């Protein structure tokens, strides 16, 4: 019994190592197989639309409501200390440093990541990828690479849109509803936020999250069992693994950026 359990554990470990190897190989090919823009520009533009533009609605709506909730809760807490004029600082720093890149990445994983996994998995199940290989067309360069770069380009832009809409939502609650002077709100934000560093850190986080989420989504689709059940499990794995990876990487990046 013990030997069987040990053998099963070792087999599982080998499978995980092999999966990391295949995922690393696919990522390397996606990075080095940057699409030739003259030849593959239509593919990249189409994926930018599918991955980025179609995710705009959920990003804007979520950013608005999260900014409004943050503004309301922040106002209720700050009024306890008669510091409600610092609401702009609270909203901007919270969104730029944490909520903007993290929530955008989680929404991106649920909306675009799951769609990428299902699409690639379906292409594998219908043998479209095998047909490309038979015609001497590299599926990693033609299918994976445009989707990978579309995800890397889209998520940082979506994160910045999320932050901008969230700040506007916080101002809507704080200034228009609760009556905070707009000059105090915006001046506190301008004085507290280091726009160069905070914006750069926000973009860096978003790029790291974009690479991670898109990589996980594409690999799970490319490595999925070519059945309906296999694609369903791969889609679920994408959302779970990408969400955990984003939260874990967020702590690491935050410690590196602000831990000193």
User: Over the stretch 61-75, which tens digit does the pLDDT of each residue have?
Assistant: 999 999 999 999 999
Give the distance from CA 205 to its chain's centroid: 9
Lowest-confidence pick of 21-25, 99-103, 106-110, 133-137:
21-25
The burial class, CB within 10 Å (0-12 / 13-18 / 19+), for 150 is: buried
H/E element, 36: none
The overall average pLDDT reported for the chain is 87
Cα separation of 81 and 98, whole Å? Answer: 24
Q: Is the dihedral of CA 156, 160, 161, 165 positive or negative?
A: positive
pLDDT at residue 35 in the model: 53
Half-sphere exposure of 1 (CA within 13 A, CB side): 0
pLDDT at residue 234 in the model: 92
Residues 190-216: pLDDT tens digits? 888 887 889 999 999 999 999 999 999
The burial class, CB within 10 Å (0-12 / 13-18 / 19+), for 97 is: buried
pLDDT at residue 85 in the model: 87
Q: Is the dihedral of CA 136, 140, 142, 143 positive or negative?
A: positive
Cα separation of 175 and 6, whole Å? Answer: 62
pLDDT at residue 77 in the model: 92
pLDDT at residue 252 in the model: 95
Query: 253 Cβ partners below 8 Å, 6+ apart?
Result: 201, 204, 205, 208
Cα separation of 157 and 104, whole Å? Answer: 10
């Amino acid at each position: 019994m013990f030997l069987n359990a040990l053998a099963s554990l070792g087999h599982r470990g080998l499978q995980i190592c092999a999966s990391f190897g295949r995922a690393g190989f696919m990522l390397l090919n996606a990075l080095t197989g940057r699409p030739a823009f003259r030849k593959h520009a239509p593919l990249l533009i189409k994926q930018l639309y599918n991955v980025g533009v179609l995710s705009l609605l959920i990003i804007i709506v979520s950013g608005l409501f999260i900014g409004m909730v943050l503004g309301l809760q922040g106002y209720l807490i700050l009024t306890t200390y008669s510091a409600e004029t610092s609401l702009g600082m609270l909203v901007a720093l919270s969104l730029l440093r944490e909520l903007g890149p993290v929530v955008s990445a989680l929404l991106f994983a649920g909306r675009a990541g799951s769609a990428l996994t299902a699409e690639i998995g379906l292409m594998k199940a219908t043998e479209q990828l095998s047909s490309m290989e038979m015609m001497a067309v590299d599926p990693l360069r033609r299918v994976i690479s445009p989707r990978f770069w579309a995800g890397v380009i889209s998520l940082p832009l979506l994160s910045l849109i999320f932050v901008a809409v969230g700040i506007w939502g916080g101002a809507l609650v704080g200034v228009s509803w609760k009556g905070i002077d707009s000059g105090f709100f915006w001046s506190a934000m301008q004085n507290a936020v280091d726009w160069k560093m905070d914006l750069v850190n926000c973009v860096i986080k978003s790029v790291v999250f974009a690479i991670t989420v898109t990589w996980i989504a594409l690999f799970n689709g490319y490595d999925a069992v070519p059945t309906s059940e296999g694609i369903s499990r791969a889609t679920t794995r994408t959302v779970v693994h990408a969400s955990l990876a984003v939260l874990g990487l967020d702590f690491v990046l935050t410690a590196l950026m602000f831990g000193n």
